[in-house]
Chain A
Amino acid sequence: MQSLYVEGNSALHRLSPRAKIFSLFLLGFVLFLGDNLPLLAIVTLLTALIYRSIGLSLKESAVRLRPLLLTIVIVALFTLIVSPWHVALATLLRLTALMLFAAAVTATTTITQFMDEITALARPLERTGWVKADDIGLAVGLVLRFVPEIIARYHAISEAHAARGLKVRPATILTPLIILTLRDADNIAAAIDARGIRRHVS
């Protein structure tokens, strides 16, 4: 069980969680307004510098970002098939910038801070009567908390393949991964109920 949060005292660590979440939201919006390639390249470079500032080694950064980066490259390649090259490049730059900034925010904000902020932000929505702010906060917290567990489980299943001399294939990995994750989700839900964490519901 690893944590997405990285201990440190960088400027981003010290920035308030609310400011970070709003900046991320704003960036996600602004990046899709224009398609000026040099400007997008500068923004991407800036987000890379921000990500570097949080104190992760290059190796650790690569391990953390590789799966997402791979997905972004695949999306860009598909875009290249159906659109001109500059649209594909813009997609690549936009998503990379967003990923780098989101990863930096996640690495410098504790789960508790995230949950408190999301819960506070969702509080006005309670007036609609459709949602409970505490549930939204809890859901976000659970995602952040259990992503590393799912990755760890993926590695365990890969090792089990290797130990049996089997080639690692998505089809043979995904089935046990999904089944184990769903089973754990049931156990975690039972634990949350047993601890009375969603008392506001009853």
Chain B
Amino acid sequence: MAVEPLTLSLTENRLGVIGLNGSGKTTFARMINGLMKPTTGKVIVNGRDTRDEKTALADVGFIFQSPQNQIILPIVKDDIAFGLKGRGFSKAEIDRKVELVLARFNAEELATRRAHELSGGELQIAALCSVLATGPNILILDEPTNQLDLRNRALVQKTIDGLEENVVVITHDLELISGFERVLLFHEGRLETDAPAAEAITRYRELAV
């Protein structure tokens, strides 16, 4: 999906991205962490151009629509540790970071669990731990409550609300972003509305019918 040229400066702690299927939401998000490079213009994250391969991905964590695809090793703590390897940490430092990130979400009991045995909500938390262990200060979540039951959805919402990092949430779950300071509404590849949550959601409802 192509996105039309736009100029934005994003400084909010909570940013929502909404829009119909194929409106350009995911393309926009993938440009923030350098998975996609803009064909014209540039994307600057934390003062660094995403076209610079070395630094682009370091500061931005990304949780995909299907978190099971981003968990590579079967045991949760092994997977979190795997993302930390090759970054110059000692084994003890890696173990410590794994413990810390799990403790941060009160998810110590997930450490030795197998990823395929986790519920949808637990899977999101495990993916979140493996991404946040590396210390990004911006986090992008692509439809984090997709296909979750009410209990797991509440768990994910509570976790997102408690994050200190700057968070970008792409979602169809309007309740999830209803308290956000700023929401971008994409429509047919262009930025339709850039406003506080209530206004963007109202406009989205008008567009959807």
List 17 A-B residue pairs with CB atoms under 8 Å apart, sorted by A's residue number.
A1-B68, A2-B116, A3-B116, A5-B74, A110-B75, A112-B75, A112-B82, A141-B73, A142-B72, A187-B69, A191-B64, A192-B70, A194-B57, A194-B131, A197-B82, A197-B86, A199-B87
| Contact assessment for B130 and A195 in the assembled complex, using a CB-CB cutoff below 8 Å | yes
| Contact assessment for B73 and A195 in the assembled complex, using a CB-CB cutoff below 8 Å | no
**Interface residues contributed by chain A, number (CB under 8 Å):** 25
> How far in angstroms is the closest Cβ of chain A from B50?
12
- A145 vs B73: C-alpha distance when bound (angstroms): 7
Closest to A192 in B: B72
> How far in angstroms is the closest Cβ of chain A from B101?
13
Contact with B along A166-187 (1 / 0, CB 8 A): 0000000000000000001001
A188 at the interface (CB under 8 A from B): yes
| Contact assessment for A197 and B83 in the assembled complex, using a CB-CB cutoff below 8 Å | yes
A200 at the interface (CB under 8 A from B): yes
- A134 vs B72: C-alpha distance when bound (angstroms): 14
| Contact assessment for A145 and B72 in the assembled complex, using a CB-CB cutoff below 8 Å | yes
Chain A interface SS verdict (over half): helix
What residues of chain A lie closer than 8 Å to B145, measured between beta carbons?
none
List the interface of chain B (C-beta within 8 A of A). 30, 33, 35, 53-54, 57-58, 60-62, 64, 66, 68-70, 72-75, 78, 82-83, 86-87, 114-116, 130-131, 134
- A184 vs B68: C-alpha distance when bound (angstroms): 10
| Contact assessment for A195 and B114 in the assembled complex, using a CB-CB cutoff below 8 Å | no
What residues of chain A lie closer than 8 Å to B75, measured between beta carbons?
110, 112
List the interface of chain A (C-beta within 8 A of B). 1-3, 5, 110-112, 134, 141-142, 145, 184, 187-188, 190-197, 199-200, 202
| Contact assessment for A1 and B64 in the assembled complex, using a CB-CB cutoff below 8 Å | no
Q: Among the listed A3, A134, A196, A200, which residue makes an inter-chain contact with B83, where contact means beta carbons less than 8 Å apart?
A: A196
- A58 vs B73: C-alpha distance when bound (angstroms): 27
Chain B interface SS verdict (over half): mixed
> How far in angstroms is the closest Cβ of chain A from B118?
10
| Contact assessment for A111 and B35 in the assembled complex, using a CB-CB cutoff below 8 Å | no
Which of A3, A187, A191 is most buried by chain B, counting CB atoms within 10 A of its CB?
A191
In the complex, given contacts A191-B62, A194-B33, what are 13 additional A-B residue pairs having Cβ atoms less than 8 angstroms apart?
A110-B75, A111-B73, A111-B74, A141-B72, A184-B69, A187-B64, A188-B70, A190-B30, A194-B62, A194-B64, A195-B83, A195-B130, A196-B58
- A195 vs B50: C-alpha distance when bound (angstroms): 15
- A103 vs B83: C-alpha distance when bound (angstroms): 28
Closest to A2 in B: B116
Closest to B78 in A: A112
- A187 vs B74: C-alpha distance when bound (angstroms): 18
Which of B58, B66, B73, B74 is most buried by chain A, counting CB atoms within 10 A of its CB?
B74
What residues of chain B lie closer than 8 Å to A190, measured between beta carbons?
30, 35, 64
| Contact assessment for A195 and B115 in the assembled complex, using a CB-CB cutoff below 8 Å | no
